[in-house]
């Protein structure tokens, strides 16, 4: 059956060759194997089910949580003459009914549905009257508690598969699967792990960097001025941040658009269009912006604040350079952001997911503190183990020399142990710098031999150094109401003098301007 695939690719979609992973995924599906396909954003996942849908008799069901995307996808398919439709909450009752009836008559090759539909028994009954050869599960990480976007209705998918008289093939698709999530998807959707299609996540045209200890606003303005003809996205954490930055950039006569969920539909669409059509060069937005945006010439994605996890970060940053040309992904790091993100996680109602979200946040912070290759850090996070330094990122191109900080590391590690391994970073830094803080005295830490052992440094410097040791996995974190630090097995080796620690000479921390409303 596969021989039909390439001609279809050309006649319907106008492409001559498959992208990495597509061919393998299509072959696997056509051989009747349940399959999981992990390709990066923009890697071309849709083709992996659209072509089998054209080849297999009947109607392929596509489950997708992205309602706004469904319509675009369906429009695009209809334009090239592929009968397709969608059913989601944007339709009236009678519209939905009409489409269901047409689907039962076999009028469509593809039917897109929102996962919530699967909660309706009536809808399941309707599906039983259709000929369904394939179920494509888009954004398949939503099925896993370990993913960053768990959706309970995804758990209905397997029971749907079982309830159909003719068992369909299942194709799970995702861009952001850590090994644990991947395993979960396979278990829950009964996919043999051997039927995994995964391509490299490396984006060779992107260079990542983390900017620390700078006046963020000044950095941003300079950066935009140096790149003023280029299209770029600036992600900010809140709607308020977006509005403030937007106004600030306008004052600088920068041609800027904005996007967040607090704006009206009309204005939001207008702003999006301005950016897509190159009438605005800079888009300032919350993470609400970008899903399904197919703008290939974005030259940079700059995160003004810390994202909540690596999955979101890589997805957002990955919107740069879809055209394959060199592009930059920058993240402006400031330690206060960690507090803000912790606070947001703390406020979120779902207690059961809190520990996990805190862990993910910590990995994001580790990314900001690592001194090794940033691209490698990302790839390893997503489970690629055989990686090499990229040679392009901020750390790979950092010309500062590494210095031996083993002795300082031993001081910190020993202090953590002497304090009983049950306190957080701030208190540990206070003890090391010999703070006169009341709590330090009350707990009797003034008597420790490590008290004041690093008093020639500031508490902030020591605190940064502790973050560095965390990123090197010498200190680990126990998540609770307050995170507490303990020495990892690797850290113990340092204490025993079995290994050395190196760190790049740190830059002078610059003063943040006090009169800036954003801080
Ligand atoms: P994903 O869902 O993985 O983010 P899409 O399926 O939306 O990616 O595809 C991203 C872009 O790549 C689309 O513009 C699509 O038309 C294009 N594309 C997909 N497959 C190919 C191919 N084989 N050759 C060239 N372009 C392709
Ligand atoms: Zn690198």
Condensed to tens digits (0 to 9), the pLDDT of residues 398-438 reads 988 888 999 999 999 999 999 999 999 999 999 999 999 99
Helix axes 425-432, 459-471, angle to 10 degrees: 130
Q: Can you tell me the distance from the alpha carbon of 423 to that of 478, in angstroms, rounded to the nearest whole number?
A: 10
Alpha helical stretches, state H, 16-60? 22-30, 45-55
Asked if residue 123 has pLDDT above 50, the reply is yes
pLDDT level of residue 512 (50, 70, 90 thresholds): very low
User: Is the distance from the beta carbon of residue 232 to the nearest atom of ligand 1 less than 6 Å?
Assistant: no
Q: 307 phi and psi, to 5 degrees? A: -70, 170
Q: 448 phi and psi, to 5 degrees? A: -70, 150
User: Is the distance from the beta carbon of residue 295 to the nearest atom of ligand 1 less than 6 Å?
Assistant: no
- DSSP-derived 3-state class of residue 52: helix
Task: Quote the strand ranges of 175-297, DSSP E.
Answer: 196-198, 206-212, 231-235, 256-259, 282-285
- Which of 23, 46, 203 to probe ligand 1 with, by most ligand atoms within 8 A of CB? 46
Ligand 2 mean position, distance from CA 349 (Å): 38
Q: What is the pLDDT of residues 127-169, one digit of tens each?
A: 999 999 999 999 999 999 887 788 999 999 999 999 998 999 9
Q: What is the pLDDT of residues 275-320, one digit of tens each?
A: 999 999 999 999 999 877 778 899 999 999 999 999 889 989 999 9
> 505 burial class (0-12, 13-18, 19+ CB within 10 angstroms)?
exposed
Cross-strand pairs, 475: 487
Which are the contacts of 77, defined by CB distance < 8 A and separation ≥ 6? 50, 83, 84, 110
What single DSSP character describes residue 477?
E
Ligand 1 atom at shortest distance from the alpha carbon of 40: 3
Q: Give the ligand whose atoms come closest to the C-alpha of residue 377.
A: 2
User: Is the distance from the beta carbon of residue 44 to the nearest atom of ligand 1 less than 6 Å?
Assistant: yes
User: Is the distance from the beta carbon of residue 15 to the nearest atom of ligand 1 less than 6 Å?
Assistant: yes
Asked if residue 510 has pLDDT above 60, the reply is no
The CA-atom distances, in angstroms, between 396 and each of 160, 210, 404 are 49, 12, 18
CA angle 71/76/77 to nearest 5° reads: 100
* Residue listed under structure tokens 């890589």: 314
DSSP run (H or E) holding 502: strand 502-504
Q: Give the ligand whose atoms come closest to the C-alpha of residue 64.
A: 1
pLDDT level of residue 349 (50, 70, 90 thresholds): low
CB 480 within 8 A of CB 345: no
pTM of the entire structure? 0.72
Mean pLDDT score of the chain, rounded to an integer?
A: 91
Residue whose CA is at the smallest distance from ligand 1 atom 2 = 45
Per-residue pLDDT, 64: 93
Q: What is the pLDDT of residues 464-508, one digit of tens each?
A: 899 889 888 899 988 777 889 999 999 999 999 998 998 887 644
pLDDT level of residue 350 (50, 70, 90 thresholds): confident
Furthest-apart CA atoms within the chain: distance in Å: 82
């Amino acid at each position: 059956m596969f021989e039909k695939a390439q001609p279809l690719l050309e006649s319907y979609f106008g492409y001559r060759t498959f992208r990495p992973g597509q061919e393998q995924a299509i072959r696997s599906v056509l051989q009747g194997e349940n399959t999981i396909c992990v390709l990066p954003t923009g890697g071309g996942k849709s083709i992996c089910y659209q072509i089998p849908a054209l080849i297999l008799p009947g109607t392929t069901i596509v489950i997708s949580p992205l309602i706004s995307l469904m319509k675009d996808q369906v429009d695009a398919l209809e334009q090239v003459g592929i009968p397709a439709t969608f059913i989601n909450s944007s339709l009236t009752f009678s519209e939905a009914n009409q489409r269901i009836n047409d689907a039962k008559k076999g009028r469509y090759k593809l039917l897109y549905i929102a996962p919530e539909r699967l909660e309706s028994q009536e809808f399941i009954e309707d599906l039983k009257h259709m000929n369904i050869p394939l179920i494509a599960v888009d954004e398949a990480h939503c099925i896993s508690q370990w993913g960053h976007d768990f959706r309970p209705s995804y758990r209905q998918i397997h029971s749907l598969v079982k309830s159909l008289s003719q068992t369909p093939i299942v194709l799970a698709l995702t861009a952001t699967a850590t090994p644990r999530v991947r395993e979960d998807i396979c278990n829950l959707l009964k996919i043999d792990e051997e039927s995994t299609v995964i391509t490299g996540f490396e984006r060779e045209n992107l260079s990542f960097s983390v900017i620390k200890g700078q006046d963020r606003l000044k950095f941003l303005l300079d950066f935009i001025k140096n790149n003023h003809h280029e299209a770029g996205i600036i992600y900010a954490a809140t709607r308020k941040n977006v509005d403030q930055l937007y106004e600030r950039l306008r004052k600088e006569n920068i041609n800027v658009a904005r996007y967040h969920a607090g704006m009206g539909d009309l204005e939001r669409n207008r702003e999006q269009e301005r950016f897509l059509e190159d009438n605005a060069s800079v888009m300032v937005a919350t993470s609400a912006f970008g899903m399904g945006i197919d703008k290939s010439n974005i030259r940079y994605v700059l995160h003004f604040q810390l994202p909540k996890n690596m999955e979101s970060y890589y997805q957002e940053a990955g919107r740069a350079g879809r055209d394959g040309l060199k592009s930059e992904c920058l993240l402006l790091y400031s330690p206060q952001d960690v507090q803000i993100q912790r606070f947001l996680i703390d406020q979120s109602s779902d207690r059961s997911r809190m520990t996990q979200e805190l862990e993910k946040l910590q990995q994001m912070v580790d990314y900001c503190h690592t001194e090794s290759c940033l691209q490698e850090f990302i790839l390893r996070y997503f489970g690629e183990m055989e990686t090499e330094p990229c040679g392009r990122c901020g750390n790979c191109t950092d010309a500062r020399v590494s210095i031996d900080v083993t002795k300082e590391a031993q001081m910190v590690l020993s202090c953590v142990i002497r304090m009983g391994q049950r306190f957080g970073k701030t208190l540990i830094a206070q003890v090391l710098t010999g703070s006169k803080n009341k709590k330090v005295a009350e707990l009797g830490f003034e008597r420790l031999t490590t008290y004041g052992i690093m008093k020639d440094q500031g508490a902030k410097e020591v605190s940064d150094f502790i973050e560095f040791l965390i990123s090197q996995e010498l200190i680990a974190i126990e998540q609770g109401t307050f995170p507490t630090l303990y020495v990892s097995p690797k850290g113990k080796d340092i204490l025993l003098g079995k290994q050395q620690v190196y760190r790049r000479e740190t830059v002078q921390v610059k003063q943040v301007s006090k009169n800036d409303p954003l801080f």
